[in-house]
Each structure stands twice: as structure tokens, then as C-alpha cells.
Amino acid sequence: MSIPVDRTSTPRLDVEAVRHSRLTNTPSDHMFIAEFAHGEWRKARIQPYRPIPIAPFALGLHYAQIVFEGMKAYRRVDERIAVFRTDRHHERFNKSLVRMCMPEVPYDLFADAVHTFVDVERDWVPNGPDSTLYLRPFMFASEERMGVKPADEYLFLVIGGPFRPLYQKPLRVKVERTYSRAAPGGTGSAKCGGNYAAAMYPTKLANQEGFDQVIWTDAINHDHVEESGTMNLAFIINGALVTPALTDTILDGVTRDSVLTIARDSGLTVEERAISVDELAAGIANGTVTEAFGIGTAASVAPIGSITVDGVEHVLDVQPEAIMFDIKRRLNDIRFGHVDDPYGWMNIVGESVAAV
């Protein structure tokens, strides 16, 4: 589809600041927006970044029908711009929409929205190795109505801005035994706003104790690890990469899937299984657990330097030659075009993108 573009007359772009990563978490000059009403998508366009009008009785404000994705666009060594795994993000976006009783976004609309937005904002894409253009496709219920019901009207937007990884040093985390992120049968596997709101208070308490993040445990017994903040979790245990198996309480991370794929293809044993808190604590003490790290779009691959369990801190020795850093290097080599992309993950902006 051809998306009309209304370019801003007052650009805020500072190309040199972007290229040298002096800007981060700053919205770029434009945004994509489309409307859903009467059972169809309409009025798709790119316009200057600005506030949008929303009715006080918009259902999304009251009943949390809001879903989002986190994606990234990379400036490659040949100066072409590429979006990472558009198809996989679209698949997860729609799964979240279905769970939240919201209409799905067709692939052509999703891909064209993201890629046209990035093409318009290509000068906002910084150079690597750690800086990228972060992309936030999101959708919320905009119908003005009193009463609890799935909305009939929605807005779908794409916004973004230059971004550096959230975590710049090994993390200090605690195992959360009181609060829960998600319960079986709930929305834990959906990337919806309510999951993040519910996590804020226990995370704030952990921050006040000096921790960077919490490790969420299962909601029933709190004895198996699940996620950590904005990240999936992975560990090196007896030389194998071990990560919690996906359930309806764990987000199916796109970076997680990419890391596991690279790990398997590099000859590393990968295990997706339940991991108990006791196994982690004992393993760090006896040396069988040698690495712990988070995996996510915002976090990329983030090392964990210590895990506190029931008030006892278990310290990990984070070394530059760690397996997690080798996987991160392999992943970034694909993203930034230092090596061939054997998986077809990188979607070059300006070239057609077919759903897989």
C-alpha cells in the first residue's frame, strides 16, 4: 500500500548528534497513524509527531485494551537501513491483540507502516554498534463509550527515536517471592500495557533496596524463575544455555528466539525447561551456573552480575570472553551487516518485505 506522508515543517533533527549517539530516548520528527472503525482499517498516514486527541471516555483509558511491540532499525555498514524481524514482531503483535480482544493488523499494513516510518526517519538512525532506532508500534481502544466491552474503534501508531541499550553494566537483581508478574490463564504471554503497570510497584521496591531489576517467579509457589523486568532470562549451566520454557506466563521474546537459534547453530546445547530458584542458588555456589543474562529488544543481551535469593547475594564472575557476549557479537554482526544474514532476519528498508 502507498502511505501518504505529511512531512514536518519544523524538524528537530540534528544529524550529527544522532550519528554520534548524543541523542537517546528522543522522539523522532514523525509518526504513523491509522484508524480502525466499522470493521476496517482506514486513513493510514505519516504525519508530524504531535499529541493526538483522545476522548476522556475512550475505552482504552479505562479497561486497558492496549498492546505494543518493541522493534529496532539498524544502520548497517553499507549505510542501508534494516528492520529486525518484521514478520516475527507482527506475529507476536497479532497474538497479543487476539488475547486482548482487539482486531488484528494485516501484515501488509503493519510492515508498510513500520518500513515507511523508518524510511521517512532514516536520518534518525544512529551508527552502531550499540545505538539503534527504537520502534514502538502500538494500538489502543479509542472508542468513546461508557461500559465494559471490547471496543469497536482503535488507533494503530508507530513512533520511535534513537536508543542505546538500557543496561550498561552487569545487573544486580533479586528473586521476587512476594509479588507476581503473571498467573496461569492470564495475560502474561501478551505484550500488553497492564502487565508492565503491575510490575512497577515491586520493581520500585527492589530499586529502593539497590537492585536494578527483579527476577519474577511462578505465581503459585514462587519457586521457579520466569522473566526479569523487560527481559527473558537465560543461564549457562554445565556449559549449556538454559532458559525457562515458554508458557502462558512468559513472553515469547523475539530476541530470545534469535539468541537460541544462534546458540544452537554455533554448536551450543540449548535447553528450554523449568529452572528452580534452588537450582540457581546452588549452581552459582558450586560453579555449575557460570553465566546469567537477560534477553530483550531494549536490553539486547544484558549480563547479570549477582542474584539475591531470600536476602543472600550470589555473585557471578562476568568475564569478557563469556558465552553470552559471543552470542551477542554474532547477533550484532548480522544486524549491522558485518556478516551474511543466513536467517533472513534483516528487512532492508525500501525493499519489499514478504510475510514468512
Based on its alpha-carbon atoms, the radius of gyration of the chain, rounded to whole angstroms, reads: 21
pLDDT attached to residue 91: 98
Which of the four pLDDT bands, split at 50, 70 and 90, describes residue 78? Answer: very high
* pLDDT digit string, tens, across residues 85-127: 999 999 999 999 999 999 999 999 999 999 999 999 999 999 8
Q: What is the secondary structure of 61-108 as a DSSP string?
A: HHH--EEE--EEEEE-TTS-EEEE-HHHHHHHHHHHHHHTT-PPPPHH
Work out the average pLDDT over 7-34. Answer: 90
pLDDT band per the 50, 70, 90 thresholds, residue 1 = low
Confidence label for 167 from pLDDT (cuts 50, 70 and 90): confident
Tell which CATH classification among 3.40.50.620, 3.20.10.10, 3.40.50.300, 1.20.200.10 matches the domain 171-318: 3.20.10.10
The answer, yes or no, to whether residue 356 has pLDDT greater than 70, is: no
Residue 173 has which C-alpha cell? 537483581
pLDDT digits (tens, 9 = 90+) for 276-300: 999 999 999 999 999 999 999 988 9
pLDDT at residue 292, rounded to an integer: 98
Q: Which residues pair with 138 in a beta bridge?
A: 68, 157
- Are the C-beta atoms of 83 and 349 separated by less than 8 Å? yes
Mean pLDDT estimate for the chain: 95
Provide the pLDDT confidence category of residue 355 given band limits of 50, 70 and 90.
low
Q: How confident is the model at residue 353 (pLDDT cuts 50, 70, 90)?
A: low
Rounded average pLDDT over 157-170: 88
pLDDT in tens, 225-234: 999 988 999 9
Check if CATH label 3.30.530.20 holds for domain 15-164+339-348.
Answer: no
Domain range summary for the chain, segments of one domain joined by + = 15-164+339-348, 171-318
What pLDDT was estimated at residue 299? 83
Mean per-residue pLDDT, 255-275: 98
